[in-house]
Chains A and B, each alone.
Chain A
């Protein structure tokens, strides 16, 4: 029982991290039909900015990070993610909206370059992420000792999910994003500035990826350049299973993938990732549009 509780909560925390990465991917794909391979780099940069920020406030070699530094890092990471995303969208993608293949290549290239930059600046090996004591501590739930950063990740993802649904349902920009996901050209024909919605969605996606990176660093207790690309693969799988363009679908799929991976990896040495790929194949065969996708 204790093990099941621990695996469930850890799996949910992993799901929360995937969701933070996948939500932006889903929105960007839904509105702009862009597969953004640079998204993992926003995540990595978010992780490194949080790590760098907390390092400014923590004594060298200390195992315990400062609380203020961590909180500041959690604010800095999404800002860095959003700035990079806007840069990629405005400078690289905007001239290529009529050439989808080039878009894939340019986001892939930007992702590789941004990732490489982190290893040039901060060395390619993993760096220890000093968490505040309260975050690394554990709380006991039904006999299971669960690190507090798991709860923080889950809470952050729930807040983000609620915020995004409110944004999409209640605000004028959310309405433009949803209409654009249905028919971008028609929204443009109405005289609505779709390009601004593109930039907004990219900034939002980048901010969420950056935030995911900061919390992911706490989850893993370290940062390294390959951080983003590893998680990006699972985030793409989450987006496909959830339904391209559906934020709620991404949340649902993230939970499924996170739990499947945790349980698979605990009971076997190999099944975690295998189950994920199996789930992906099953969804593609049985429901090609994804669990909550509109498209078939």
Chain B
């Protein structure tokens, strides 16, 4: 993986202020294509805010987000998702009354906005169903398609989250703490699912995570945020060894 390759996604001096508070502080981060980058930092470090700036949920106070050489700072989350910068779905995006498969179909449809002629859409409908079924299979929910999403166990809901992400066929996956709230025995399954997606699909992945062991095993690079600023960006081993990171984040003197 060559560092010289032009980055698939990059931020330039990205800054977010809420009132007087500086949430994200002048972050410039370049992610080469195909790389797995984890973003870590203590609570309140601005990780999720930074993520929301990437997906377009928040508009930055200053700076820009560039995807494949195009400035996407002014685009909505759905417009970014259609270009391939995957939105970070969360549990709130699940429609409890629809079946698991229907939730996935809706996510496929959202990424391919239809034309007005609905009787012409039969063939595309079939493609959407296949894509949705494939996504469920990839995350290990193949047998749960007909179950109402409300009836899924919490761990399965997180898997559905992941499937919804895949439905949009993103080039860059944004994963916001995919193991949060997942039972201890389910975490390895979730991580294996993410690892498999990475291996099979070869996607670029950005992940917010606070479990250090998870980050270390999965990541090519780790970015450390503290008080909204990027304080380190290197291989997992180099970041762990960084004395500043050790004191600021790992709490090791």
Binding site for B on A (CB under 8 A): 170-173, 175-176, 178-179, 182-183, 186-187, 189-193, 196, 200, 294
Assembled-state Cα–Cα distance A294/B97 (Å): 9
Chain A neighbourhood of B114, CB < 8 A? 172-173
Size class of B's contact patch? 20 to 34
The answer to whether B118 touches A191, judged by C-beta atoms less than 8 angstroms apart, is no
Assembled-state Cα–Cα distance A173/B109 (Å): 10
Known contacts A190-B78, A190-B107, A172 near B118 by CB under 8 Å: yes
A10 to chain B, nearest CB (A): 36
B81, B92, B93, B109: the one within 8 Å of A175 (CB): B109
Chain A neighbourhood of B107, CB < 8 A? 190
Of the listed stretches B31-39, B98-106, B183-191, B243-251, chain A binds: B98-106
Known contacts A171-B125, A172-B118, A191-B79, A186 near B93 by CB under 8 Å: yes
Q: Which residue of B lies closest to A171 (CB)?
A: B118
The answer to whether B97 touches A191, judged by C-beta atoms less than 8 angstroms apart, is no
The answer to whether A196 touches B77, judged by C-beta atoms less than 8 angstroms apart, is no
Known contacts A171-B118, A171-B125, A179-B98, A189 near B77 by CB under 8 Å: yes
Tell me what chain B mostly uses at the interface: helix, strand, loop, or mixed: helix
A170 to chain B, nearest CB (A): 8
The answer to whether B95 touches A172, judged by C-beta atoms less than 8 angstroms apart, is no
The answer to whether B113 touches A193, judged by C-beta atoms less than 8 angstroms apart, is yes
Chain A neighbourhood of B118, CB < 8 A? 171-173, 200
The answer to whether B77 touches A192, judged by C-beta atoms less than 8 angstroms apart, is no
Q: Which residue of A lies closest to B94 (CB)?
A: A186
B78, B95, B102, B116: the one within 8 Å of A191 (CB): B78
The answer to whether B105 touches A175, judged by C-beta atoms less than 8 angstroms apart, is yes
Chain A neighbourhood of B92, CB < 8 A? 186
Q: Which residue of B lies closest to A200 (CB)?
A: B118
B90 to chain A, nearest CB (A): 11
The answer to whether B121 touches A172, judged by C-beta atoms less than 8 angstroms apart, is yes
